[in-house]
Structure 1
Amino acid sequence: MVKIQKRDGSIVPFDAVKIQNAVIMAVLKDQYGDYRSGPTLSAAGRDVANHVSEQVLAVLEKRPNDGVIFIEDIQDQVELAFMRAGEHRIARDYVLFREKRAKERAAVQAPDVVEGIETDNGFQTFETLLGHLSLWAPGLLGNSGVLKERREAVFAEMRRSLYPGISQNEIRSAAIMAARTLIESDPVYSRVASAFLVTSVREEASRALGLPEEAFFYNQYFPAYVQFGIEDGRLDPRLADFDLEFLATRIADSRDFDFEYLGMQVLYDRYLIHHREKRIEAPQALWMRVAMGLALAEEPSERDRTAVEFYNVLSQFLFVSSTPTLFNAGTTHPQLSSCFLTTVPDDLDGIFEAIKENALLSKFSGGLGNDWTPVRSLGSYIKGTNGKSQGVVPFLKVVNDTAVAVNQGGKRKGAVCAYLETWHMDIEEFLELRKNTGDDRRRTHDMNTANWIPDLFMERVEQNAEWTLFSPVDVPDLHDLYGSAFSERYAYYEQQAELGVFPSKKVSAVQLWRKMLTMIFETGHPWITFKDACNLRNPQQHDGVVHSSNLCTEITLNTNAQETAVCNLGSVNLLAHMKPAEGVELCEQFDGSRDDFLHQYFDIDKLNLTISTAMQMLDNVISMNWYASEKGRFSNTRHRPVGLGLMGVADALMACRIPYGSEAAVLFSDVSQEVVSFMAINASASLARSRGAYESFDGSLWSQGILPIDSVALRNRSSAVFDMDTETCQTLVWDGLREFVKGGMRNSNCLAIAPTATISNISGVSQGIDPIYQNLHVKSNLSGEFTVLNRAMVEDLKRLDLWDEVMVNDLKYFDGSLGPIDRVPEVLKKLYATAFEVGVDHEGRDWLVRCAAKRQKWVDQAISLNLYMAQASGAKIDRLYRQAWHSGLKTTYYLRSLGATAAEKSTVQGGQLNAVSVQPKACAIDDPTCEACT
């Protein structure tokens, strides 16, 4: 058996009896109020003591025979075993007892112990190190009150990592790691860890520029940074034309300390500009650099003022541009666009030209969506060689490997999604591309796939009818048809196939649908997207056809052989524009009017100013963009599409005390998206008055005064039954705006809701329109693993005196859910329900789909919609995706389902990341490919 290390460092033999006695005393204390030896245990108490002892010993027996266990680790296991047994009161008392004994031991510490350590910079007392902590986290750690308590808590953790000869950089790293371990106890330590990293970045940048490291001031640093960046070839020389001294005075130093640790670490690892692996860019310099890069599109006399406006929006997290814009704005290669959509032609030159274009676009941080429907299927005749085609799949293998090879300069994984229409003869093999079994030469493990489904197929599924597969070389016009025109032509081709004019294959529509759903459950792919919904509501249907979406399924733009569609993204932080609700009562059903709802919860003026500025920034992205593809340049400058999205929606709902699974949340989704849509469209029309309408405006739905909400009627002309409501659910007066947009729009498309995986981390809010994943979990991305704790939930639990170490361990044991924790009030369980707990309404409809459908009415592109299912089954998945289609959604994204087993939980001691996450089946909650849009 293992040996035990006591607190004084001595090693003693393992003694199971001592553990059993400790457990018995804890149970006796619960029964009789004292830890002393007492009366005999009751039968129930004896059962508890035996069960807990057995559980603890079983865990310890798994340790190596020559292992050594620290005494505190054994006590951790006792504590955890009590919680697993449901004995939360005993566990709580045991925690408090341990804390009391720790304080007693500290009180009798020998007075002659030297309180300090030898470092590479000489001997430093612990008092000196405590002072450093206060300087590194100004306003968060200090010498009195709660600030002192926090500082001592950080230092207590930090001391474990100190050793003689430790360097100054290692001391800072130890402080960061110490604060990280405390995040699960209080989210304020996320800010503390971030502050430590910020001060380290400032020193690193100052050192790289040859500036004094002791005191950092942006008014001194910023002009030097810009000059150094230009001389180093990293920054656009035109940035020197700005009034750098003036801009430096407009930088708010204190905003460096508004980051959560996850956001700051991501910035440090992937966003801040570096020179020979040393960061030269401090956080506020990044925001100002992006603002200046976008302001270059303005008249020279307006650039300084505009840069300040852009900076204030970005640096306060009111709106954040997408990742490519943050990476590259103001640099010598300003590839600022987010997503690129291509149609691959049916010839060898065109196919490999498309693969080359993928590589070039991926090199500079673009996310890719490829339409492969035109490429002839397996076995189709090739006239040039008098042979037969190998179909789509072998080329997709090359696309997959290209995405791996061109990984965006090491900053992010290359990311691409292939789309194929449901009538394509290769569709069945396409569905299996992500399987882990079969011929690996016909598998694509690193790329994404998506079904491009016409309404006719869904109607055949509901009719339990047959479906016919064709090779596109035989039915070339189906690719460009949609709605009733597609249905009529498809029926004609079925007749021709029956006559033997060309090869075809009949399958059961239901069986093919079931295979789609089976694959998306097993592998996460292909995603389900709807061709007709995207095209019938397309404001640019006069100028082409939407053949696919993008990497994250929110972009729906026309593509053809001459044009690579480009979209330019950024997201509004909805939480920053809310009026938080007062009190603790939930709003599950709002009794007032839509107008009352709007003015009760939203800061309208602030939101309008943010959106106006954001639309100007997004339009400037198009003007300033550097293009790796001439087809992308041609398309982007001709149509000027942008995609204004949202993030922090779950946080905004919690601030308003609205549970995600409620009628009030459905109303919130409807009203908030209506307001954002109105403001974005108005801003684009206003820009057209000063800058001119986009080139292909004439003939568009905009030019006819048909807005996204009006295009719902075009969708509802289909023979299918849709649940989308229009006239009865409007808050604003739209008639004036309809007339206004007839005079011109600056952008062919204005709205698209991206997943915002990374920029929401940077902003410290929930991603996109998703509900919260877990209230406490570990998030993994390319920067490492991070404890994520729901700040709003913690504040509520603190007010009720429920936030303690036992609650932390309960949350970890129950996978971040408040639901199973008895002492938590029901109102908080509803408000902080996780994504897998939101569930369905009383009619069996998924709340997330209902909320997204309300948003889709107002959005001219699409929504990147993750779907969550805790206990998936074939029938549930079938019902979910049929609801998505009937609700008028254009696309869906990942189906996230929980695995059958949970990970082993561990306790919180030892300075390790310690929240536990149950990963969704078939995909990760922070899939790095999501970041291509954000």
Structure 2
Amino acid sequence: MSTKTLKATPLTVAAPVNLINRVKPALANGLEKYGERLLKEAALAFYDGINDNEIDKALIQAAAQNIKDDIAYDRLAARLQLLAVYREVLGTDDFESAATMMRVRFADYLEGGIKGGLLSEKMRRYDWTRLAAALKPENDQLFTYTGISTLMRRYALRGENQQAIEVPQYIWMRVAMGLAWNEAEPNEVAISFYKKMSALEYIPGGSTNINAGAVKSRLSNCFLMGMEDNVDHIGKTVSDVLKLSKATGGIGLSVTKLRASGSPISTNNTFSSGPIPFLHIIDSAIRAISRAGKKMGALCFYMENWHLDFQEYMDLKQNAGDDYRRTRTADTAVYLSDEFMKRVEADGWWYLFDPKETPDLIDLYGSQFSKRYQEYADMAEAGKMRIFKKMKAREQFRQMIVSLQAASHPWITWKDTINVRALNNNTGTINGSNLCTEITLPVDEKNIAVCNIMSINLARHLSVGGGLDWDKLKDSVTLGIRQLDNLVDINEPPVAEAMNFDSHNRAIGLGVMGLAEIFERRGFAYDSPEAYNLADEVMEFVSYHAISASADLAVERGEYDNFAGSGWSKGYVPYDTLDVLEKERGERVLVDRSFKLDWESLRARVRQGMRNATLLAIAPTANIGLVAGTSTGIDPRFAQIFSRNTLGGKYLELNFNLVKELEKLGIWEEVKDDILASYGNLESIEKIPAELKAMYKDSFSVKPEGFVEVAARAQKWVDQAISRNMYLETRDTDEIMGIYIRAWQQGLKTTYYLHMKPRHNAEQSTLKVNKSNVLGKKGFGAAMTATAPVSSSAEASAPAEPTYSACPVDPQERAQCDSCQ
């Protein structure tokens, strides 16, 4: 690029920096041809007195707004973002000098962080020179634009002036150091952890990324609590919720024990106001403590559906009604028994009771729950219960589904499947899940359950030929389990009950992300038998080696305190609990039972000891999935092009795998506007081959049984649960009821959000559309369209922050479980 090129742009004010030198490093490696357009569009946002940071933003946004036209702009935007980070943190303007300065300034970064109160003195246990030499600046090139932006906005440490003090490789090394200082060889282990994270092969949960290496190691993402039926514990619960939220934890709170409205209070002969007002207090606490910018505290209530006030509980998320009996911030979930599901199938009666009169129901499950529940029902019919309600089970289930359609709540979860299949249920009944429905742990007054999570990026474990690199995946699983186990010893939960649980149970949750991407790259439709079998094979392998790694750690470090009496101590692995569930349920669990690995020899090792009470949980990974540049959790792609809002900003999601396929066919340029105009759905675009349409469906086009089958195959091997989003095109309530009944029959433990396909889409605003052809309109409408087409040219407007107004918006953006990411 020449100075002459720059002068040809519509720049009317003197730039405070040499723009050519500023952008030149980003325009290498085949990106040179994009320089002229980049400068031309960025210059539209310049003004007198513009500073360096704003120039960087204009350049980045100019690149980002063109990603939908050419995916090379994503690489360009990412490189421009990296250069801006290097200038801010390292004071350098190019990649080569940045690589040098990263190593040169690493010790200064650590020293400054320790003296500034951001980093722990324990970071001094390392050989900083050795770690600096191990840094891999070249791995910064692995980030997409969304990935680098999300990482820096959410996880980078900042000084008092809010200026970043970390580059991406410092973040990964800080996390690695913060999780290895208890090792006999901390330098060696930290480097091994670092290499995995730096290569985006696995990424810890958000709380770990924020707080690892810090003075206070608040590293847990997930907490589970139970609220007891007395005012002292209710007050303590509010206090604990505030403390856990401040520590960036997401909370699941069981509230079934709270007595019903109108229930007698013996101490003063008055009557209870019921659970709803107390849930509103918790909701207000969550809203008060939420902190934007990095992570927000959040909470989900869990209630069993035999509670007398369950109808009022279902109304908590409705827009209409008394605001003091609504929860505007907290989420809600229902905890269903097998007894209820059988009564739904049989169209039987369902009874609702005051927990004050039926205190033992909450801790019973399986056949014991069914027997005791029927005894209470018989007592109710005999007039021996103070109060009860009676309704058809199918009608109550229909009300849940209607509420789920309208308000995305309550989430549907299954108590008996969770408890009967739990391998750690020797320490008590599991009364609910967490904020994202993937963690299942028991709690009581002395224990707030804690789970520490991480997700493996499956897409980074594909070989050049497209197959999975099983040796690499085994290494990631084994090392990931060790990293999570270290986290337990280093972790400092903010309340004593959480510390107690963490130290005695050592619960961890290793998950996966990128499943949909490996389906695509293997050429499988998400809802195909090939995809189901691959999901089964991958999760069996992950489960096997996670269990193996924990058994090895038990030999090296000792078993967890509550191992005796657990399912593990009997030699059970998650697969074995399917038989236990069938026996308790009295009917088949409809999931494929095939397996490929030598589980018998592993059972013998498990029986000797396990280091961790739990090992596996698949989180939604909405934010770390963005960092990794892959599909989230086990979900399909929402669409082939869409916009996503996060706390870190608004980003365009474009499926690069699809673009590459269409480029191979030579039709990308022809169909890209059609893809945008059809909201990322390929079905109506004739030029795209049928096999690609099947492989690259949007989420609403995936068959409902595909969502259930993929989750069922994975759940077969997972000892905790799976955050299973559902995207449905149908609005038929009976059909949706059938889908959720099928999910229960196939052994799913939990589901997460239900997203319904919108009936209407917003009108496109960034495309030239001939509506007389598209809509069949004639007359004045057609004439106006023909004479005044909407323009998307660069000259029309300056590159303000991209709005992607023509892109569909993932509904999950309004409902993200921010604390599990």
- 1:55-454 matched pairs, under 5 angstroms: 119=14, 121=16, 124=18, 129-135=19-25, 137=26, 141=28, 146-206=30-90, 217-276=101-160, 277-299=162-184, 302-408=185-291, 410-454=293-337
| Structure 1 counterpart of 2:514, from 643, 648, 659 | 648
Name 1:925's counterpart in structure 2. Answer: 812
Matched, 1:880 2:743: no
Task: Return the match for 1:850 from 695, 709, 725.
Answer: 709
Cα deviation, residue 111, structure 1: 13
Is 1:901 aligned to 2:760, yes or no?
A: yes
Q: CA deviation at 1:217?
A: 1.6
C-alpha distance 408-566 of structure 1, shift in aligned 2 (>3 A):
farther
Q: CA deviation at 1:871?
A: 3.0
Alignment partners' CA distance in 1, 2:491 and 2:460 = 28
The corresponding residue for 1:773 is: 638
Q: Match for residue 660 of structure 2?
A: 795
Verify the 8 A CA contact 1:322 1:933 in the aligned structure 2: yes
Contact 2:6 2:39 in 1 (8 A): no
Q: Match of 2:580, SS? A: helix
Secondary structure of the residue that 2:172 maps to in structure 1? helix
Match of 1:169, SS state, is: helix
**What secondary structure, in the 3-state scheme, does the structure 1 residue paired with 2:90 have?**
helix
State the distance in 1 between where 2:581 and 2:805 align.
46
2:777 corresponding residue in structure 1 = none
Q: Quote how far apart the aligned CAs of 1:237 are.
A: 1.0
**Whole-angstrom CA distance in 2 between matches of 1:742 and 1:687:** 14
Give the drift of 1:925: 1.6
Distance in 1 (CA, whole Å) between partners of 2:291 and 2:40 is 41
How many angstroms does 1:157 deviate by? 2.1
- The whole-number CA distance in structure 1 between the counterparts of 2:716 and 2:7 is 73
Does structure 2 retain, via aligned residues, the 8 Å contact 1:899–1:918?
no
1:454/1:531 contact within 8 Å kept = yes
Structure 2 equivalent of residue 891 of structure 1: 750
Partner secondary structure for residue 445 of structure 1: coil
Residue 378 of structure 1 aligns to a residue whose secondary structure is coil
Q: How far is 1:762 from its partner?
A: 0.6
Return the alpha-carbon distance in structure 2 between the equivalents of residues 111 and 452 of structure 1: 63
Q: Could you report, residue by residue, the CA deviation over 1:430-460 in whole angstroms, capped at 9, with x for unpaired residues?
A: 1111001111111112110000000101111
* TM-score for both structures, normalised by structure 1: 0.81
Contact 1:709 1:726 in 2 (8 A): no
> More deviation in 911-920 or 494-503?
911-920
**Aligned-pair CA distance for 1:413:** 2.6
1:168: how far off?
2.6
1:605 aligns with 2:471: yes
Matches within 5 A, 1:457-856: 457-502=340-385, 503-579=387-463, 601-725=467-591, 727=593, 729-804=594-669, 806-840=670-704, 846-856=705-715
TM-superposition CA deviations, 1:57-101 (whole Å, max 9, x none):
xxxxxxxxxxxxxxxxxxxxxxxxxxxxxxxxxxxxxxxxxxxxx
Q: 1:797 to 1:875 in 2, by over 3 A?
A: same
More relative contact order in 1 or in 2 (CA 8 Å, sep 6+)? 2
Indicate the SS of the match to 1:379.
coil
- Give the distance between the partners of 2:688 and 2:432, measured in 1 at CA: 46
1:866 corresponds in structure 2 to: 725
Q: Structure 1 stretch 154-163 or stretch 897-906: which is displaced more?
A: 154-163
Superposed CA RMSD: 2.0
- Alpha-carbon shift at residue 193 of structure 1 (Å): 1.2
Tell whether the 8 Å contact from 1:782 to 1:928 is kept in structure 2 after alignment.
no
Larger Rg: 1
| Cα distance in 2 for residues equivalent to 1:303 and 1:674 | 31
Q: Is the 8 A contact 1:202 1:216 kept in 2?
A: no
Structure 1 contact 899–919 (Cα < 8 Å) conserved: no
* SS in structure 2 at match of 1:295: coil
Note the C-alpha offset of 1:825: 0.7
1:919 deviation in Å?
Answer: 4.3
Q: What whole-Å deviation, never above 9, does each CA across 1:312-359 have from its counterpart, x for those lacking one? A: 001111110000000000001111011100110000010111111111
**One-letter code of the match for 1:849?**
V
How far the C-alpha of 1:215 sits from its partner, in A, is: 8.1
Measure the CA separation in 1 of the matches of 2:99 and 2:223. 44
2: CA distance, partners of 1:206 / 1:310: 24
Distance in structure 1 (CA, Å) of the matches to 2:816 and 2:279? 17
Q: Which amino acid aligns with 1:867?
A: M
- How far apart are 1:507 and its partner, in Å? 1.2
Label 1:214 to 1:351 Cα distance change in 2 as closer, same or farther (>3 A). closer
SS at match of 2:394: helix
2:772 corresponds in structure 1 to none
CA–CA distance in structure 2, aligned partners of residues 334 and 532 of structure 1: 35
Query: How far has the Cα of 1:810 moved from its partner?
Result: 1.1
In structure 1, what is the Cα distance between the partners aligned to 2:407 and 2:665?
Answer: 43
Asked if structure 1 preserves the Cα contact closer than 8 Å seen for 2:725 and 2:752, the reply is yes
What whole-Å deviation, never above 9, does each CA across 1:91-115 have from its counterpart, x for those lacking one? xxxxxxxxxxxxxxxxxx9999699
Deviation of 1:929 after TM superposition, in Å, equals: 4.0
Q: Normalized against structure 2, the TM-score is what?
A: 0.92
Aligned partner of residue 179 in structure 2, secondary structure: helix
Deviation track 1:183-208 (CA, whole Å, cap 9, x = no partner) reads 11122322221221212112212359
Number of aligned residue pairs: 782
Counterpart CA distance in 1 for 2:536 and 2:433 is 23
Cα 1:120–1:615 shift into 2, 3 Å: same
Question: For residues 54 and 110 of structure 2, what CA distance do their matches in structure 1 show?
Answer: 29
Partner residue, 1:913: 803
Q: Which runs of structure 1 show a deviation greater than 4 angstroms over 4 or more consecutive aligned residues?
A: 109-118, 212-216
- The CA distance in 1 between the partners of 2:579 and 2:597, in whole Å, is 19
Counting aligned pairs with the same residue, the percent is: 36
Secondary structure of the equivalent of 2:351? strand
Q: 1:396 to 1:115 in 2, by over 3 A?
A: closer
Code of the aligned partner of 1:290: V
Amino acid of the residue matched to residue 812 of structure 1?
Answer: L
Contact 2:10 2:43 in 1 (8 A): no
Could you tell me how far apart the structure 2 residues matched to 1:114 and 1:883 are? 61
The gaps in structure 2 that reach 5 residues or longer are 767-791
Q: Partners of 1:400 and 1:115 in 2: how far apart? A: 52
Alpha-carbon separation, structure 2, partners of 1:341 and 1:786: 32
Once the two structures are superposed, what CA deviation does each residue of 1:153-194 show, in whole Å capped at 9, x if it has no partner?
A: 322322322345433322212110111111111223222212
Structure 1 residue 690, shift from structure 2 partner: 0.5
Amino acid in the other structure paired with 2:22: H
Against the structure 1 CA distance between its residues 547 and 201, is the aligned structure 2 distance closer, same or farther, given a 3 Å change threshold? same
Change over 3 Å in CA distance of 1:207–1:773 after alignment to 2: same
For residues 752 and 565 of structure 2, what CA distance do their matches in structure 1 show?
31
Write the letter of the residue equivalent to 2:652: T
Instruction: Using the TM superposition, name which of 901-910 and 823-832 deviates more.
Output: 901-910
1:338/1:569 contact within 8 Å kept: yes
Q: Distance in 2 between matches of 1:110 and 1:337?
A: 52
For residues 72 and 249 of structure 2, the distance between their equivalents in structure 1, rounded to whole angstroms, comes to 35
Distance, in Å, in 1 between the alignment partners of 2:446 and 2:7 is 81
Per the alignment, do residues 770 and 346 of structure 1 end up closer, same or farther by CA in structure 2, a change over 3 Å counting?
Answer: same
